Amino acid sequence: MRKRTRILGRALAAAGTLAALTVATAVPATAAEPTSVDQDIAQLYQDVEDLYNGLPANALRGVDPLFDSPVKRPGQQANAAQGPIPGCTPGALLTYANGLAAKLTPTEGKALSALSAIGQLYTQAIASDKTPQVFGTDGQYTPRATSTIDKLRGFWDIESWNVQLVAWKGTDLGSQERTTQTFKLGLDPKRAAEAGALATKVLYEVPGLQGGRHPLLTLNAFSAPAESLGGKRIMLGDGLLDVVNHLGFDDVSVEAVVGHEYGHQVDFAHNNYPENESSEMGPDAYGGYFGAHAKGEAWNARTQQEVTYLDASIGDCQHSHGTPDQRKAAGAWGEKQAVSQNNPNRIVPTVKMIEQFQKVYPKLMQPKTAALAAAH
């Protein structure tokens, strides 16, 4: 009898469990209440949108990323005017960044979006090379970065003394003083202080952001003209350097990226703001020229080829910054100009370099892509 009771007890328990499950599934589930973290992130996102809306009209003029990040930030305008280019495959770096973004939860994605926008604005408008800059998450790229910018300042014939090279670091977001300074660019002091404190709080409320060390927070590089907020500067992200290293381009990463971003300064100096892919392909070409030139990096043929593959890795398929093939072709064109000169020590004047590239640019576009661009 005792055995039967035990069996019956187990049966009733199972029936009770089944009934509970039936009730649970029969009643429509109510929407989960937002957690305090969700509320903090929503408020921070709104603060960042208001910050960008409160900036001067020309604050972001000419400031364009090395490539279009998969994480869209408040205040960021989409560069792509048309749909994807048929038959095009995005570059390796862009593909890797897309993979990182796909792993984010919606909560992480929204927090990262807002915080990345704050960090970029801090680096553009407030950070200064008057204080020692540390490039790379562990400072491992600092000597190469400072050496490269010094070479570039002496290489091209543009005003260079006031082109700053500053480190874009996600860990800066852990400083309430820095986040508050950033919000003061577009918000009143009281709200800026509240938003600055909230930004630092969110950074540590979301463990996936790794205290500011998640690569996507700083996975890019920018160049800014004199009239933008903060003046002439190049911003080099730790996340970008880490990922480029991971993809196998560490031998040329710093020099190639800084050379490209300085190429934008060449365009800015001559008020050259193309509204097509040549806005990014031109700096690829100027950077290639600097890398291969005897008075630049003087890289050999193998290293020059590595640079063109790095150029290709940041190509997209959105009529935005150039496809992988286009960017590779632009970098290779610049290298060829350097190694084919009768006088290897001669440096082509920047105005002439721009003119030459604009003439050859249509030929570097894939026929299919050029036809599509012309149709639009």
**Cα 238 versus chain centre, distance:** 10
- What is the side-by-side order of every strand in the sheet holding 164-168? 64-65, 221-224, 233-237, 164-168
Give me the amino acid identity at 17.
T
* Strands in 98-229 per DSSP E: 164-168, 221-224
Residue in 373, 17, 46 with CA at minimum distance from that of residue 195: 46
SS3 136: coil
Name the one residue in this structure whose structure tokens are 């509240």. 194
Mode of pairing for the β-strands spanning 221-224 and 233-237: antiparallel
Q: Are the beta carbons of 281 and 326 closer than 8 angstroms? A: yes
Tell me the average pLDDT across 168-177.
97
**224: phi > 0 → left, psi -120 to 50 → alpha, else beta; which?**
beta
Q: Are the beta carbons of 282 and 354 closer than 8 angstroms? A: yes
Q: What is the pTM of this model?
A: 0.87
- Rounded Cα distance between 164 and 235, Å, is 8
Instruction: State the pLDDT at residue 320.
Output: 81
Tell me the average pLDDT across 145-170.
96
Name the one residue in this structure whose structure tokens are 């971003």. 261
Element spanning 12, H or E: helix 2-26
Residue 86 pLDDT grade (very low, low, confident, very high; cuts 50, 70, 90): confident
Beta bridge partners, 237, equal: 168
How many CB atoms neighbour CB 79 within 10 A? 17
Mean of per-residue pLDDT scores for the chain: 88
Tell me the average pLDDT across 250-276.
96
Residue 64 pLDDT grade (very low, low, confident, very high; cuts 50, 70, 90): confident
First to last CA, the chain: 86
Beta bridge partners, 224, equal: 233
Alpha helices, DSSP H, located in 54-135: 92-102, 106-125
Instruction: State the pLDDT at residue 71.
Output: 83
Helices vs strands, H then E, count in the chain: 14, 4
Instruction: State the pLDDT at residue 56.
Output: 92
Residue 85 pLDDT grade (very low, low, confident, very high; cuts 50, 70, 90): confident
Q: Are the beta carbons of 330 and 363 closer than 8 angstroms? A: no
The two structure tokens encoding residue 222: 């920018």
pLDDT digit string, tens, across residues 318-330: 888 899 999 999 9
Quote the longest CA-to-CA distance of the chain.
106
Give me the amino acid identity at 53.
N
Element spanning 342, H or E: none
Beta bridge partners, 236, equal: 167, 221
Q: Which long-range contacts (CB under 8 A, 24 or more apart) does 33-38 make?
A: 37/107, 37/202, 37/205, 37/206, 38/107
The percentage of the chain sitting over the pLDDT mark of 70, rounded to a whole number, equals 86
The percentage of the chain sitting over the pLDDT mark of 90, rounded to a whole number, equals 76
The two structure tokens encoding residue 4: 């039967």
